Amino acid sequence: MLTHLPTTPTSPLPPAPPADSQRKPYHLMKLLASTMNSKSGGYITRRLHVPQGVWSQGGAKLSNIPEKVRVVEVLCSALEEMQQVSVELFGAGSVCSGFALGIGSVGRKEAEAWVAKLEDFSSICDSVVANFGKKLGVGEGFVLKKSGGVTSWGGKLTRQFDKFTNGKHLDSPAAYVTGLGRLFTDAQLLDEHSQALLAQPLSPIYATFPAEARSAAEVKLKRASEFFASVVLTFVIRDLAQLLDKYAKKCEKWLAE
């Protein structure tokens, strides 16, 4: 029966993307994560369904897997640190609701600490592009900041690569896909903060930020979104296209048998 064919999707259609372009990369990453985590796979558009088996099939030779695993590991580590700082500063609840700590409990100190953490992440993004952008063929349109930050973070990034990838099988497609699932989930923290900052009226937490800190946070969150769009999603979608092509050919062969 047709319902038993591996190409027949059973997943629900995806929700509409957010209106603000800054949040769209996170929306796509959330949909991609669902294709990896759900046994039935998932839709990434209303017309394109990605079976879970696409990510685990053998025989697809993706390029530069060790470098991609390194990048993903470092980004996951940075986002996990940001999650911890966000909880420490704003509480464990949603930053969109502002009920975690209560109105008025966020002041200049907390605002500046969060902006500093966003700046750290921005520097990591710059270093990823500076060190791996050319080899991975990504980062077009992502303008690096003209400062010594990229150079100084380059050394830190190298040490982080060594720390997180020591003894690991960096050429493993499975490690790559597992890392992407973590990254796409961890990145939703930035979407939550973007949503809180872009909300009209402002979320209670960001409404308590001094104007200059709020403006700085807005710039850095926008830059993070641009990084995921022009760097991470660029190489992931490229790899997904290759995997889908391989999977489709396998399905054609299976149907012909």
257 residues of the chain, pLDDT tens digit each: 333 455 566 788 999 999 999 999 999 999 999 999 999 899 999 999 999 999 998 778 899 999 999 999 999 999 999 999 999 998 877 787 765 554 447 889 999 999 999 999 999 999 999 999 999 999 877 777 765 555 455 556 666 656 655 556 667 889 999 999 999 999 999 999 999 999 988 888 899 999 999 999 999 999 999 999 999 999 999 999 999 999 988 887 777 76
Two tokens, residue 168: 């690991």
Two tokens, residue 150: 């990229």
Q: Helix or strand or coil: residue 146?
A: coil
- In the chain, DSSP finds a helix count (H) and a strand count (E) of 10, 2
For residue 96, which of 205, 179, 227 has the smallest C-alpha distance?
205
How far apart, in whole angstroms, are the C-alpha atoms of residue 30 and residue 24? 10
Q: Helix or strand or coil: residue 78?
A: helix
Going from the C-alpha of 256 to that of each of 8, 27, 46, 248, 252, the distances in angstroms are 16, 37, 28, 12, 6
Two tokens, residue 131: 């060190």
Bridging pattern class, strands 49-50 and 42-43: antiparallel
Contact assessment for residue 236 and residue 205, using Cβ atoms and an 8 Å cutoff: no
Sign, CA dihedral 9-30-48-236, equals negative
H or E element, residue 242 = helix 233-256
Please tell me the pTM assigned to this model.
Answer: 0.87
Whose tokens are 């038993």? That residue is 4
Contact assessment for residue 171 and residue 65, using Cβ atoms and an 8 Å cutoff: yes
Contact assessment for residue 127 and residue 150, using Cβ atoms and an 8 Å cutoff: yes
The stretches of 12-107 forming alpha helices (DSSP H) are 24-37, 53-56, 65-90
